[in-house]
Amino acid sequence: MANCTQCGRKLPAWTLRRICQWCVQHEAAQRGELDDNVRQRVMPAPWVRHGESTITLTHIIFGANLAVFIAMVAASGSLTDDFPFQVSVRLGANYGPLTLSGDWWRLLTYMFLHGNLWHIAVNMWCLWSFGTLCESLYGRWTYTAVYLITGVAGGLTSLAWNPHVWSVGASGALFGLTGALIASLYLGEFSFSDLSIKSTLASLLFFCVFSLFWGFASSNIDNSCHIGGLLSGLILGALIARLAPDHNNVLRRAAVLAMVALAVAGSGFAVRQWRGAPYRMERAFESLSTTDPDRALAQLEAIARQQPNSPDIHFALGQTYFSQQKFPQAESEYKRVVALQPQNRDALFELGMTLLSEKRLDDAKNAFSQLAAQNDAAGHLGLGLVLAAQEAHQAAIEEYKQAVQLNPKLAGAQYELGRSYAKLNMYDDAIAAYLKEKENTGDLPDLETALAEAYTAKGMTQQAQQAQSQAEELERKK
């Protein structure tokens, strides 16, 4: 379907005319060829905004970006250097480990942060150019929605592509505006010439191609955010042009915007499911030591329900239950991990330790034996613990020695060996084992206390007092 060469409106199908009937009548009226009683029909052009303040939304967004930039300069103490990671993240950068674990507000705040002076200068020049055009085309509130929806879409694309990259800048939203303009100018009908439309389209396309090429060539540019903003803008602009070009049709325009916003929200949920579990799990772990460990545990349980076949999540949940002495629940989670990964040595060891904590020595021995059969040092350490619990310390010593032979640096092996030696009154061997543990893993209060007891049994009073004092000092520092 052709466009009128005068005003850009769509012409009827299969017409040979080059200008529309409205323009024909309008030109005839200007030439005085019409009777004075014939009135020119009023045809308000779509896309044109009316009655809005001279202070545009572009001015407001520009000012907000500038104010945040000043805050970043104040927080970092530098105007010319790149802003540090810590400053950007503290002020709201889009960073996968935080955004995907619950800080979804970062998908909005990151659009108002920038990495350095050059970054904000380029983005604000683009905002002033494309934002003004977009606001005049769509009107203030549609422009706001396009800016925010496409900016969020760009942030989500960045999270999906590489969640470890921290992202700042208005460029995701600016690419969204550019995409919306391209689609709308190509598909819409306007009251200005084709030449103007084609010239503007050419400028927009050049900007996109050049910027994306530059982004691929530079390692410090988050091009995935640009691509996400551009694609969402193209879709949004096309839908507005085809389904809701008239800004006065508020319900139709709102329906289009709401539909795209819901699609972006659905994409966010998909990215959360795909990428978010490890980060939510890590954050829940960090929260366990706070004043609300029950909430953190509930978060881990929710993640496990969402991803029931993830051994990592069930293992983490097992560790959490174990730390809270909920041994039956920990046992269940470790067994789930072993069912998913029969050769998971860490899960077998932790399952054995859980069973040992429940005083189910035979079951614990079975779990540790599976590890020991794989020539695993931790399996022999676990067998030694079971034998020590049964007061079979000589047999336990042999298992500990086997563990140390397989892994001389195995944490806890020398300490447990020393304890069994002490139970058999072999204090010289116990002291040697304790000192070796201290050399391997560092000083601990329990280790110094065990040394003090061994020295006391040997009659080495001075050494015993020193070890006990050291144990008390370490305890105070915990």
Q: Rg of the chain's alpha carbons, rounded to an integer?
A: 35
Quick one: tokens of 41? 């029909």
Measured CA to CA, the distance from residue 432 to residue 417 in angstroms comes to 10
Residue with tokens 């800080």: 103
Q: How far is CA 408 from CA 220, 263, 371, 397, 456, in A?
A: 44, 56, 17, 15, 28
CB atoms within 10 A of CB 53: 8
Contact 319, 310 (CB under 8 A): no
- 464 near 449, Cβ under 8 Å? no
Confidence (pLDDT) at 11: 66
**CATH number of this structure's domain 61-275, picked from the four choices 3.40.50.720, 1.20.1540.10, 1.10.1070.20, 1.10.10.10:** 1.20.1540.10
Long-range Cβ contact pairs of 319-323 (< 8 A, separation 24 or more): 319/350, 320/285, 320/288, 320/296, 322/350, 322/353, 322/354, 322/357, 323/288
Q: What is the pLDDT of residue 195?
A: 64
Domain spans, the chain: 1-43, 61-275
Distance CA 369, CA 372 (A): 5
Rounded to whole angstroms, the Cα distance separating 223 from 211 reads: 9
Dig out the tokens for 283 from the structure.
């954050």
DSSP one-letter string for 51-112: S--SS-HHHHHHHHHHHHHHHHHHHHT-SSSPPPHHHHHHHT-EEHHHHTTT-TTHHHHGGG
Residues recognised as catalytic: 171, 226
- Write down the pLDDT at residue 307: 79
Predicted confidence pLDDT, tens digits, the chain (478 residues): 566 666 656 666 555 566 777 677 767 776 777 666 655 454 444 555 545 556 788 999 999 999 999 999 999 888 878 899 899 999 999 999 899 988 999 999 999 999 999 999 999 998 988 888 888 888 889 999 999 999 999 999 999 998 888 899 999 999 999 999 999 888 876 655 566 677 778 888 888 888 888 888 877 788 999 999 999 999 999 999 889 888 778 899 999 999 999 999 999 999 988 888 778 767 766 665 555 667 777 777 887 887 788 888 888 888 888 888 899 999 999 999 999 998 899 999 999 999 999 999 999 999 999 999 989 999 999 999 999 999 999 999 999 999 999 999 999 999 999 999 999 999 999 999 999 999 988 888 999 999 999 999 999 999 999 999 998 988 888 6
pLDDT value for 184: 87
Predicted confidence at residue 42, as pLDDT, reads 47
